[in-house]
A and B are shown apart, each in its own frame.
Chain A
């Protein structure tokens, strides 16, 4: 029998450490390693939940041959940059960033890992190994706005967004334009929380809008708080990202929901096949990325028919939410009758249409 002294124990420990670490770098049966960074915690509903469904779609497509690393609640850019770098250094071949807040970190990390495929949701900058994808939320808010226009008695609707960025400002405009297609006198007050995640403040914002007479609330944030508080105060609500009808106290009109799964699965397949190229995808009802959740039962058949007609016309291209004539808040004509706002300007929307009440600084 051999007596172990301290040095032997150390050697053994080191050997054990090596055997434990080395094999993890040579996954024989792993086809693909995927990393994803979420901006908020994965809850049962909301923006991040819909992204986690995209990752789940990859997992069910590839089964055990995919290895997924997910980090949630990463919204500070400094943290995000470190996290992206670590994911790339750990050998992930495909990395998803899921927030506008991840823009700079992912743009800084991508060039340093040219062999890794980066996909960035809400991104604007597109590099050799950094693709971007985005939903046409405004198609969803426009259709939701049509239902809001029908039910609003005060002709005032309210909108709550995280930050005043084009992806939030544009949909707010489309919500009002949809409502104005029913009742041209409707106005929409907008509040920005300047936070992606603060249910308490969302509650306060909802109550604020209701106190100013808004009777339909559309909250484009990450929790169901807006829907819940609107329902308690007998106001209509429009959900975002996920169907939030269970929170709405029967007053949830509809939700524009996001279905990222096709984009996630396609990117994973392309990386496995070696055919991945960075590209820009911008999809709405076409592509099945934006969907409308079931309309509220108490809406009349006419209203639902009008909303569905708009949906199919948007799909076919006969209707464009940002078709002229569009005026800005100050009444100045920004899009002439007969033309539509160019895609470039939709992605960079930084002004409110006439009838919006709020300030973009």
Chain B
């Protein structure tokens, strides 16, 4: 039973940075913008979080600074892709590389000091429940935040007027523009939100998860978040499930290795990727729904005609 609790909690924690980054990217893509720079923005968030923490700021402030750092670095992409209408693929890739380099530069000298990780919270009564306590109520606050943000993003996209406008812009910026929505401005807000979420995901890695700073510490999680959005066919619930599935398969394959499962470790290591893709493709195979969820103007620059 302890083992089950440990696998479950490790899964949720492993998925949390992916959920943050992927929910952010989902909003960006729903507005019709493709930002490939998640990895770079996560690294910026991770390094600025550690910087703030080492400067003696309280943890909440360090996380806020990471969020701001992620958002500001997304602005680099925003200016290139939205104002100057540069190719979004190229601008995003540039941001991924830029963020990796700049964060490594800022983080010089941070790697030899451990970080005091954000500690799990104690909820009165609930955390002390047998079984359910350690299973559900002993996470760090950011895990609960990831769930709140999931609900908020789903509600925003499908239940709010602003979300409808965002989706309309992602479908047909021309029509949205014609009815008077400020397309470029709304896309800027979406890009900034994506950057902020990626920064939060990065801070989760460096301040809670690992918790230490090393260059390139995201090790590809930004790209996994990007793939999750696509394979989830732009549905928030599938992003959430996909992230948990990926995290869970990662933990299970490690558990499998440690008990000496007779499967080559190389194959086990590939399992999370294979399983996540297969499952998400299977649940997203309805062509009609797929067409409806796909933001039709994705990655196409929009020039407002006056």
Q: Do A and B bind each other?
A: yes
Question: Which A residues have a C-beta under 8 Å from some C-beta of B?
Answer: 41, 43-45, 73, 158, 164, 189-195, 197-201, 203-205, 207-209, 211-212, 214, 223-225, 228, 232, 246-247, 357-361
Residue of B214, B215, B219, B264 with highest tally of chain A CB at under 10 A: B214
Contact partners of B2 in chain A: CB under 8 A: 211
Contact partners of B109 in chain A: CB under 8 A: 44
Closest to A209 in B: B258
Q: B112 to A228, Cβ gap below 8 A? A: no
Interface check B10, CB cutoff 8 A: yes
Residue of A41, A43, A201, A203 with highest tally of chain B CB at under 10 A: A43
Known: A189-B258, A208-B251. A41 touches B209 (CB 8 A): no
> How many whole Å from B39's CB to the nearest CB in chain A?
13
Interface check B265, CB cutoff 8 A: yes
Interface check B217, CB cutoff 8 A: yes
Contact partners of B258 in chain A: CB under 8 A: 158, 189-191, 205, 208-209, 212, 214, 357-358
Q: For the complex, what is the distance from the CA of A184 to the CA of B229, rounded to whole Å?
A: 50
Contact partners of B112 in chain A: CB under 8 A: 43-45, 246
B109-128 interface with A by 8 A CB criterion? 109, 111-114, 117
Interface check B83, CB cutoff 8 A: no
Contact partners of A191 in chain B: CB under 8 A: 254, 257-258, 265
Q: What are 20 A-B pairs at a CB distance below 8 A?
A: A43-B111, A43-B214, A43-B215, A189-B259, A190-B257, A190-B258, A195-B219, A199-B217, A200-B219, A204-B254, A211-B7, A212-B258, A225-B210, A246-B114, A247-B212, A357-B258, A358-B260, A359-B261, A359-B263, A359-B264
Q: For the complex, what is the distance from the CA of A360 to the CA of B212, rounded to whole Å?
A: 30
Known: A191-B257, A208-B258, A357-B258. A201 touches B114 (CB 8 A): no
Q: B210 to A199, Cβ gap below 8 A? A: yes
Q: Which of B14, B111, B259, B266 contacts A44 (CB under 8 A)?
A: B111
Contact partners of B267 in chain A: CB under 8 A: 361
B1-58 interface with A by 8 A CB criterion? 2-3, 6-7, 10, 14, 17
Q: A200 to B205, Cβ gap below 8 A? A: yes
Residue of B209, B216, B257 with highest tally of chain A CB at under 10 A: B257
Interface check B250, CB cutoff 8 A: yes
Known: A359-B264, A361-B265. A224 touches B10 (CB 8 A): no
Q: A228 to B219, Cβ gap below 8 A? A: no
A-B contact count (CB 8 A): 124
Q: For the complex, what is the distance from the CA of A223 to the CA of B260, rounded to whole Å?
A: 24
B74-128 interface with A by 8 A CB criterion? 104, 109, 111-114, 117
Interface check B133, CB cutoff 8 A: no
Q: Which of B113, B216, B254, B261 contacts A205 (CB under 8 A)?
A: B254
Q: For the complex, what is the distance from the CA of A195 to the CA of B104, rounded to whole Å?
A: 20
Q: For the complex, what is the distance from the CA of A85 to the CA of B112, rounded to whole Å?
A: 33
Interface check B238, CB cutoff 8 A: no
Interface check B211, CB cutoff 8 A: yes
Residue of A189, A192, A193, A204 with highest tally of chain B CB at under 10 A: A204
Known: A164-B265, A193-B269, A204-B14. A228 touches B114 (CB 8 A): yes
Q: For the complex, what is the distance from the CA of A146 to the CA of B288, rounded to whole Å?
A: 63
Residue of B205, B211, B260 with highest tally of chain A CB at under 10 A: B260
Closest to B117 in A: A232
Q: B265 to A247, Cβ gap below 8 A? A: no
Q: For the complex, what is the distance from the CA of A193 to the CA of B251, rounded to whole Å?
A: 11
Q: B3 to A212, Cβ gap below 8 A? A: yes
Q: B210 to A204, Cβ gap below 8 A? A: no
Known: A200-B14, A207-B10, A246-B113. A192 touches B251 (CB 8 A): no
Q: For the complex, what is the distance from the CA of A228 to the CA of B113, rounded to whole Å?
A: 11
Contact partners of A360 in chain B: CB under 8 A: 264-265
Interface check B160, CB cutoff 8 A: no
Q: B264 to A361, Cβ gap below 8 A? A: yes
> How many whole Å from B223's CB to the nearest CB in chain A?
13
Q: Which of B114, B219, B263 contacts A199 (CB under 8 A)?
A: B219
Known: A195-B219, A200-B219, A247-B114. A228 touches B210 (CB 8 A): yes
Q: Which of B3, B6, B262, B265 contacts A192 (CB under 8 A)?
A: B265
> How many whole Å from B99's CB to the nearest CB in chain A?
14
Q: Which of B205, B215, B266 contacts A41 (CB under 8 A)?
A: B215
Q: B250 to A204, Cβ gap below 8 A? A: yes
Q: A207 to B221, Cβ gap below 8 A? A: no
Q: B219 to A197, Cβ gap below 8 A? A: yes
Q: For the complex, what is the distance from the CA of A223 to the CA of B220, rounded to whole Å?
A: 16
